[in-house]
Chain A
Amino acid sequence: MSGVTIVVGGGLVGLATAYGLACRGQKVRLLDQGDTALRAARGNFGLVWVQGKGYGMPAYARLTLRSAAMWPRFANDLLAETGIDVHLRQPGGFSLFLNHEDMAEEAGQLRWIREALEGKYRFEELGPEELRRRLPGVGAEVVGACYSPDDGHINPLLLLRALTSAVQRRGVNLETGCEVQKIENTGSGYRLTGNGRTWEGDRVVLAAGLGNQSLARQVGISLGLSPNRGQILITERLPHFLDYPTNYVRQTGEGTVQLGYSNESTGLNDGVSASVMSDIARRAVACFPRLANVQLVRAWGALRVLTPDGFPIYQESPSFPGVFALTCHSGVTLAAIHAYEVAPWIAGGPPPDELQVFSDQRFKNPDYKVTSNGH
């Protein structure tokens, strides 16, 4: 019994969970890969996003709302801990639409969620005039928007630095360049091995993104993960013009503008394509015509970690008690929940509300229908 919890994966899920565990006095060893690892975190838009999440699974909507509400506390704790301000802003966010069908579909989903949450769900459907009043500079092609007052954003680079600093200050042992390949029960704990290295711990948290698939399988958890590529464009720095995060465009604290949003099944290819880049640019310019003559500085692809229904899986292994798999594609939004509810549960405390809904067992139920792509 070493008293050590090993967290596999140094991305947003692993870091937030390790931080939460360390705050609970747990001894944590965090294993991260090398410089060229896939890192789903590279694809994050910095959004702390509530809108639209949980269509088909009300528990996920509630989980997301809770996490967004806990984020100010998380940001303050990180600031107090490290002196780094992650620039959390929660002014609400806009999903912009360039055609009525898309808006109708989204609005329909939002209404479904509101009803499933018995009205405890805030959003507005905005027509073009009202939208232009609230978001000056939005283009004429935008037919309307859905606004959620609970949406927000942070600075992803600062969040990474704050979390890395916080875990180290809390005594987490951060090991880099690790490749975990095998997990075994030693009888008195668990042994992880990979590339000639060995680690031992009483508890193991699998937070390795796409890498969770093979590791979870070894402990009887089936995640059914598939990579989903999103391409992101980033522009040169611009004078500040956009306070609110939107679905397609977000201006960072540095003044650069991040543009998205795309979905492709390309296996493990995290490259970019001119056609998708062009689509993203076209939508961005339609949303904010002022972006037409702005220089594109970089485009990259990142792989989202998608479960079969797109909703998180939080599962303790039935055959390897003390081994947990944490998988989601909203590492930023759920970071607060990971630190304040999931980590305590892993440390032996009570499970977060409705945790059983996020079990991998749901996919074994023949009646379970996947109603959305879980975004």
Chain B
Amino acid sequence: MATSPLFRSLDARTSEVLIEFDGKQISVADDTNLAAALLEAGVDVTRKTAISGASRTAYCMMGVCFECLVEIDGVSRQACQVRTHAGLKVSTHSPAATKGDIHD
């Protein structure tokens, strides 16, 4: 899953925390933008679309596109609007396949 990350930081990390993505622990900067942190950690896919199950991740970084939706404690959140902290548990956002979708 985690290939070479799409982004790296030029800053030296002042403090790090452990968060979880889909049950896997990753080390990220503390109190930083979650979407950015995931990109930096090599997490390229954070959501699966409801229609085709296509892989998506952050696109606009400013809360407009909703591509960065993730699941945190059972709630859908835009990762670009969340700050990291120790123990944050994040999961891929993928509403289960439904039946009777208009695209069926």
- Give A contacts to B, CB under 8 Å: 85, 87, 155, 157-158, 161, 236-240, 252-255, 293, 295
* B23 within 8 A of partner (CB): no
- In angstroms, Cα B9 to Cα A89, docked, is 53
Interchain CB contact under 8 A, A255 and B75: no
- In angstroms, Cα B101 to Cα A278, docked, is 28
Given contacts A236-B95, A239-B95, A239-B96, contact A255 B50 (CB under 8 A): yes
Interchain CB contact under 8 A, B102 and A240: no
A selection of 30 A-B contacts at a CB cut-off of 8 Å is A85-B104, A155-B100, A155-B102, A158-B102, A236-B95, A237-B50, A237-B95, A237-B98, A238-B95, A239-B95, A239-B96, A240-B98, A240-B99, A253-B98, A253-B99, A253-B100, A253-B102, A253-B104, A254-B98, A254-B100, A254-B101, A254-B102, A255-B50, A255-B96, A255-B98, A255-B101, A293-B74, A293-B75, A295-B75, A295-B76
What is the distance, in angstroms, from B72's C-beta to the closest C-beta of chain A? 10
Q: Report chain B residues within 8 Å CB of A237.
A: 50, 95, 98
Partner of A240, one of B74, B96, B104: B96
What is the distance, in angstroms, from A91's C-beta to the closest C-beta of chain B? 13
Q: Report chain B residues within 8 Å CB of A295.
A: 75-76
- In angstroms, Cα B50 to Cα A252, docked, is 14
Interchain CB contact under 8 A, B98 and A236: no
Q: Which of A157, A161, A238, A253 has the most CB of B within 10 A?
A: A253
Q: Report chain A residues within 8 Å CB of B96.
A: 239-240, 255
Contact with A along B73-104 (1 / 0, CB 8 A): 01110000000000000000001101111101
Q: Report chain B residues within 8 Å CB of A255.
A: 50, 95-96, 98, 101
- In angstroms, Cα B51 to Cα A63, docked, is 38
Q: Report chain B residues within 8 Å CB of A238.
A: 95
What is the distance, in angstroms, from B70's C-beta to the closest C-beta of chain A? 12
Q: Report chain B residues within 8 Å CB of A254.
A: 50, 98, 100-102
- In angstroms, Cα B23 to Cα A50, docked, is 47
Q: Report chain A residues within 8 Å CB of B76.
A: 236, 295
In B41-90, which residues have CB < 8 Å from any A CB? 50, 74-76
Q: Report chain A residues within 8 Å CB of B99.
A: 240, 253
**CB closest chain-B residue, reference A235:** B76
- In angstroms, Cα B66 to Cα A236, docked, is 12
In addition to A254-B100, A254-B102, A255-B101, 18 A-B residue pairs with Cβ atoms within 8 Å of each other are A85-B104, A87-B100, A157-B102, A236-B76, A237-B50, A239-B96, A240-B99, A252-B100, A253-B98, A253-B99, A253-B101, A254-B98, A254-B101, A255-B50, A255-B98, A293-B75, A295-B75, A295-B76
Q: Report chain B residues within 8 Å CB of A158.
A: 102
Q: Report chain A residues within 8 Å CB of B104.
A: 85, 253
Q: Which of B95, B99, B101, B102 has the most CB of A within 10 A?
A: B102
- In angstroms, Cα B49 to Cα A237, docked, is 11
Q: Report chain A residues within 8 Å CB of B101.
A: 253-255
Q: Report chain A residues within 8 Å CB of B74.
A: 293
What is the distance, in angstroms, from A239's C-beta to the closest C-beta of chain B? 4
- In angstroms, Cα B78 to Cα A162, docked, is 35
Q: Report chain A residues within 8 Å CB of B95.
A: 236-239, 255
Q: Report chain B residues within 8 Å CB of A87.
A: 100
- In angstroms, Cα B74 to Cα A238, docked, is 11
- In angstroms, Cα B101 to Cα A238, docked, is 12
**CB closest chain-B residue, reference A238:** B95
- In angstroms, Cα B100 to Cα A353, docked, is 34
For the complex of A and B, the 9 pairs showing the least CB-CB separation, nearest first, are A253-B100, A255-B98, A239-B96, A237-B95, A87-B100, A293-B75, A254-B101, A237-B50, A295-B76
Q: Report chain A residues within 8 Å CB of B102.
A: 155, 157-158, 161, 253-254
- In angstroms, Cα B75 to Cα A238, docked, is 11
Q: Report chain B residues within 8 Å CB of A293.
A: 74-75
Q: Report chain B residues within 8 Å CB of A157.
A: 102
Q: Report chain A residues within 8 Å CB of B50.
A: 237, 254-255
- In angstroms, Cα B102 to Cα A236, docked, is 15
What is the distance, in angstroms, from A246's C-beta to the closest C-beta of chain B? 17
What is the distance, in angstroms, from B49's C-beta to the closest C-beta of chain A? 10
What is the distance, in angstroms, from B76's C-beta to the closest C-beta of chain A? 5
Q: Report chain B residues within 8 Å CB of A252.
A: 100
**CB closest chain-A residue, reference B50:** A237
